[in-house]
Amino acid sequence: MGSSAPARRQRLLSDPDVFRYVAARIVSLTGSAVTFIAMPVLIYGITASATWTSLVVVAEALPYLVFGLVAGAMADHVNRRLMMVGADLLAALSLATVPIAFWFDALTAGHVLVAAFVVGTIYVFFDAANQGALPSLVGRERLPSANALVAGGSTVAETVVPMLAGALIVVISPASIIAIDVLTFLASALLIRSIVRPLSGKRDRASTMRLSAVAEGTRFILRHEIIRVMIVIGVLVAFSAGSLMAILVVWADRSLGVQEGDWRLGLLFGAWGIGAVVGSILMPRLMHRFGGARSALLVLPFAALAGVAVALAESWVTGALAIAGWSLMYLVIATISVTLRQQVTPEPLMSRVMTAGRMATFGVGYPLGAVAAGALAGTVDTDVAVMVCQLSLVVAAIVGWLSPLRTAPRRLEVAEG
């Protein structure tokens, strides 16, 4: 009989290097959760515009489309640990300009958008190294539990932090609490620097990064039918996520009567984290029992229902419950997709395949959803805009059930490079 998921997680955390890796992610994402709330609130406070608010999400996501392939190729050719540490330090420096400009009464909406884009760009390079590093650190067999551990630990922080941030915004400006994220980037850099084991496979010192190497991850995805379908589904799911995040503050204000400075705004963001925590517990159990492809098929129809429920919410209580359900489904689908790519990709292509997938989802689907939601919210009721955008989940469910996922084996093997 196999060991339980909690036991596997406990063994993972007893490994000092895994503990440092997970701690770095939790610390960094704790700060990012603060910025996640503060940035749109800050922009909405400056402009009172749904379009400007949605542009924050676009600015944060667009770098994947622009730099994803280059970042993936770089992470497959250099020391991933050094790449992650350097990215953390640069992100801290860039983000620090927002509170500093605010303290000198010089902050503008344009400055916030540029900072969001720069930090997003730096994160693309960090993430390319990060997603390639985890398989090297824990091995492929432990990837479902490791990814769920990272996601679960992160979302525990993301459950508490939004509620605290929502309360802090009542008494402290959104720009000032962004300074917390600066400190967490520095802490993450120190933790990653202290990991002893290699985070990269063996590198050929004579090898150089060729232009043709940049697109190898994309070619791998196009050849692998299961991963290819999961990427299409990921784009549709990311579209729904980008649209919801882009106008969540606006939706809370116009549809639920929850305005900036209201403690209930923190609870709405906290509901997202609660759902994600439950999803992180559920995901490895689903993959262990049904395999990744069939687990995705089971979850997709429920994700579509949750998206519709968000659009139909009429109070902050029903809105919070719907968001919790939506985030549960979102985390399960997103984490399954990431895990499947990591399990079938040869190590020399790992970062390129992972960033090519992220480029499609967070570089295309996410910002397109944000732009669509912002444009719709400027012309129709906000709840109608949410409903239209969440229909992408219905399309995702249809795509999944008409695809080769229905006949995919329970366990996928490492493919040839």
For position 12, what pLDDT does the model report? 73
Q: Where are the domains positioned within the chain?
A: 5-407
For position 56, what pLDDT does the model report? 81
For position 223, what pLDDT does the model report? 86
Helices 80-95 and 179-193: crossing angle in degrees, nearest 10, is 160
For position 159, what pLDDT does the model report? 60
Provide CATH code, domain 5-407.
1.20.1250.20
**Cα–Cα distance between 59 and 116 in angstroms, integer?**
6
Question: pTM to 2 decimals?
Answer: 0.69
User: Which residues in the chain come in under a pLDDT of 70?
Assistant: 1-10, 13, 152-170, 201-214, 260-263, 414-417
Radius of gyration, alpha carbons of the chain: 20
Q: Are 280 and 155 in contact (CB under 8 A)?
A: yes
Phi and psi torsions of 308, nearest 5°: -65, -40
For position 158, what pLDDT does the model report? 59
For position 393, what pLDDT does the model report? 96
For position 265, what pLDDT does the model report? 73
Helices 50-75 and 366-377: crossing angle in degrees, nearest 10, is 170
The length of the chain is 417
For position 60, what pLDDT does the model report? 74
For position 1, what pLDDT does the model report? 38
Q: Are 406 and 297 in contact (CB under 8 A)?
A: yes
Query: Over the stretch 42-59, which tens digit does the pLDDT of each residue have?
Result: 888 888 887 787 788 778
For position 210, what pLDDT does the model report? 60
